[in-house]
C-alpha cells in the first residue's frame, strides 16, 4: 500500500538506500506502518498485524533509541539526523527536522502535548514539553527548553528558552523567556545581517553561548552550514 507521507520522509534523505545508512529511517518507517494499521477497519487481520507491530516497535526503539508515539500526528517529510535519546509525541507539521537527544512530550498524563508547525528545526538535545504551540519556521537551538508558545519564524535559545522573534530580515531578543505567555521584541533597531558596520545590540545570554544574530553564525550554531558549492548542509553529518 502506497504511503505518501513516508515517500515524503524518504525525500528528506537525499542519498540512495537510506535504510542501509541511517537508523533513524527505521523508526520513521515503523511509525508510519503503525499509523496505517490504526486507520484500517477493525478486523482479524488488523489484530494479527498489530501483534506483529508491537514487538517490531520495541526492537527498533531499543536499537535506535528513537521512540515515536503511535498517537503522535506527524506530517510528511520528517527528518531525524542521527539517532539516540529521541522521544516524539504530540502534533508535528510538515518537513520538520529533529536531531539526537530531542524530546517532544507532555509534563504528565493529565496535560496536553505540543503542537509543532511546519518546517520547524530542533537542535541537539532540545526539549519541547507541555500544551504549547510552536509556530512554523521556528528554529530551536541545541539544549534549549521550550515550555510555552513560540511565534512563527522565531529562534529559541537557552534554558529556559529565550525567544528571538524575527523582525524583518533578522531576529531580535525577546524581553521574556518561554516561561512567559507573551514575548515582545525590544525596541532596539533591527540591523540587517549583511550590514556589519552598523551597531548591533549585544546578545543578552551572558551565561549562555554568545552568538551573533547573523545568518551564517546562527546556522552554524544550529548545526547547518554551507558547502563549497553554496548548498546548505547539516554540519552534524
d(CA 235, CA 133): 27
What is the residue-averaged pLDDT of the chain? 79
Q: Name the CATH superfamily, with its identifier, for domain 4-234.
A: Hexapeptide repeat proteins (2.160.10.10)
* 153-160: long-range contacts, CB 8 A cutoff, minimum separation 24: 154/183, 155/218, 157/205, 157/208, 157/209, 157/211, 158/205, 158/208
Name the phi and psi angles at 134, rounded to 5: -110, 120
Per residue in 114-135, pLDDT (tens digit) is 999 999 999 999 999 999 999 9
Residue 236's pLDDT band (boundaries 50, 70, 90)?
very low
Q: Does pTM surpass 0.85?
A: no
Per residue in 56-102, pLDDT (tens digit) is 999 999 999 999 999 999 999 999 998 899 999 999 999 999 999 99
The structural domains of the chain, with segments of one domain joined by +, span 4-234
Amino acid at each position: 500500500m502506497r504511503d505518501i507521507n513516508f515517500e515524503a520522509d524518504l525525500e528528506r534523505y537525499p542519498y540512495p538506500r537510506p535504510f542501509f545508512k541511517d537508523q533513524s529511517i527505521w523508526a520513521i518507517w515503523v511509525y508510519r506502518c503503525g499509523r496505517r494499521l490504526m486507520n484500517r477497519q477493525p478486523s482479524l487481520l488488523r489484530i494479527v498485524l498489530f501483534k506483529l507491530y508491537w514487538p517490531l516497535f520495541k526492537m527498533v526503539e531499543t536499537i535506535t533509541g528513537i521512540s515515536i508515539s503511535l498517537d503522535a500526528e506527524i506530517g510528511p517529510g520528517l527528518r531525524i539526523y542521527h539517532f539516540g535519546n529521541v522521544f516524539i509525541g504530540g502534533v508535528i507539521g510538515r518537513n520538520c527536522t529533529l536531531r539526537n537527544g530531542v524530546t517532544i512530550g507532555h509534563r504528565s498524563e493529565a496535560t496536553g502535548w505540543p503542537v509543532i508547525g511546519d518546517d520547524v528545526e530542533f537542535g541537539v538535545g532540545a526539549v519541547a514539553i507541555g500544551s504549547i504551540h510552536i509556530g512554523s519556521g521556528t528554529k530551536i537551538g541545541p539544549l534549549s527548553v521550550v515550555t510555552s508558545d513560540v511565534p512563527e519564524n522565531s529562534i529559541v535559545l537557552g534554558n529556559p528558552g529565550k525567544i528571538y522573534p524575527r523582525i524583518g530580515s533578522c531576529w531580535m531578543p525577546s524581553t521574556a523567556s518561554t516561561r512567559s505567555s507573551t514575548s515582545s521584541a525590544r525596541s532596539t533597531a533591527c540591523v540587517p545581517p549583511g550590514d556589519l558596520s552598523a551597531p548591533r545590540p549585544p546578545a543578552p545570554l551572558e551565561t549562555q553561548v554568545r552568538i551573533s544574530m547573523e545568518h551564517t553564525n546562527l546556522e552554524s550554531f544550529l548545526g547547518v552550514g554551507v558547502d563549497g558549492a553554496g548548498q546548505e548542509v547539516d554540519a552534524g553529518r
